[in-house]
Amino acid sequence: MSDGNTPVTKPVHTGRVVAPAGAGDDLSQRLTLFNVEAPRRRLADLIVPEPVLAQLRALLTKIKYHRVLYEDFGLSTVDPAGGRTAINLYGPPGTGKSFAAEALAAELGLGLLRANYAEIESKFVGETAKNIQAAFAKARQAQAVLFFDEADSILGRRLTAITQSTDHAVNVSRSVMLLELDHFAGVTIFATNLASNYDPAFVRRILGHVALPLPGPELRARLWRAHIPAQLPAALAEGDWQTLVDATDGLAGGDILNSVITAAAAALEREGPGCTVRLSDFLAAVEAAKRAKREVGARLE
């Protein structure tokens, strides 16, 4: 706990006692399905617009200085349930949402528990609600940041026309998620490409919504420099960097990373280990990425 001047490096608990998510061997078995990892990325390495970084830093301050805000500044009088620290990261694919979640956990000095809906649903077929409870229980036990990727699948709107048992199961999962969020005193992070699909009940329970947009020219220049390591045998003249920036208009950082890997693999296939990765290799990889976006999946604006 902070003395008011020193930041807290772990989530501040509100004192609420939460019953275990389950009991006996069933819960113990489910807990083993979720692993806590040590974050490797830092906020200083995240290449996003400065307003996005400022918003993330403000959310970190809220978590670290909870006592100052809610006791010294009196916010507990207007927000009695102020322990809630759910963060939503949304934007097009490849813009750094998973990177940001890992960086936030690192800044808090906590481990990261990743739980996406596809895995939660498949752990025990038909028992998604119990798996959600187990994910929260494991995060609580390990004092880890709980990260839900593809969160629109789990925070989607509840169904009003129940026609089959699977519809009822979906609504039960949504209700369990709401209850767990209300009783979880740690940090939860959601990431989605489809934030418009969220149920309003979840939107109200989220402390901060952070949009991660597609990068502009300046950020794309930084992303290209960051994603081409010094060891890569790339032959790029100074003017070639601007060519790459211009060629990747509309692409995200993840697309740039994939283009670097594809270009390097193409050069290796052509010339072997003594290869040189040329501008033409990078541009061909970029064009392939753009074509895939046009033909395989729609880009989120």
pLDDT tens-digit series, residues 143-182: 999 999 989 888 877 655 555 555 556 778 888 889 999 8
Q: In sequence order, which residues have a C-beta less than 8 Å from that of residue 50 and are 6 or more positions away? A: none
pLDDT digits (tens, 9 = 90+) for 108-129: 999 999 987 777 876 665 688 8
Q: Which of 211, 244, 271 is the last residue of a domain?
A: 211
- Residue 169 makes CB contacts below 8 A (sequence gap 6+) with 126, 128, 129
Residue 12 inside a domain? The answer is no
Q: Which residues of the chain have pLDDT under 50?
A: 1-24, 299-301
Burial class (CB in 10 A: 0-12, 13-18, 19+), 149: buried
C-beta atoms surrounding 25 within 10 Å: 8
Does residue 10 lie within any of the structural domains?
Answer: no
pLDDT value of residue 122: 63
Q: Encode pLDDT of 231-252 as tens digits.
A: 999 999 999 999 999 999 999 9
Place of tokens 């970084």: 53
pLDDT of residue 250: 96
Chain centre distance of CA 45:
15
| CATH number where 84 lies | 3.40.50.300
Q: Is residue 14 part of a domain?
A: no
- Residue range(s) defining the domain that contains residue 286: 217-295
Residues 6 or more apart whose Cβ sits within 8 Å of residue 83: 12, 13, 14, 16, 66, 185
Name residue 209's amino acid. Answer: H
**DSSP 8-state code for residue 198:** B
Residue 29 is predicted with a pLDDT of 78
CB 90 within 8 A of CB 211: yes
Residues 28 and 150 in one domain: yes
pLDDT of residue 236: 96
Nearest to 126 by CA among 66, 166, 96: 166
Rounded to the nearest integer, the mean pLDDT of the chain is 85
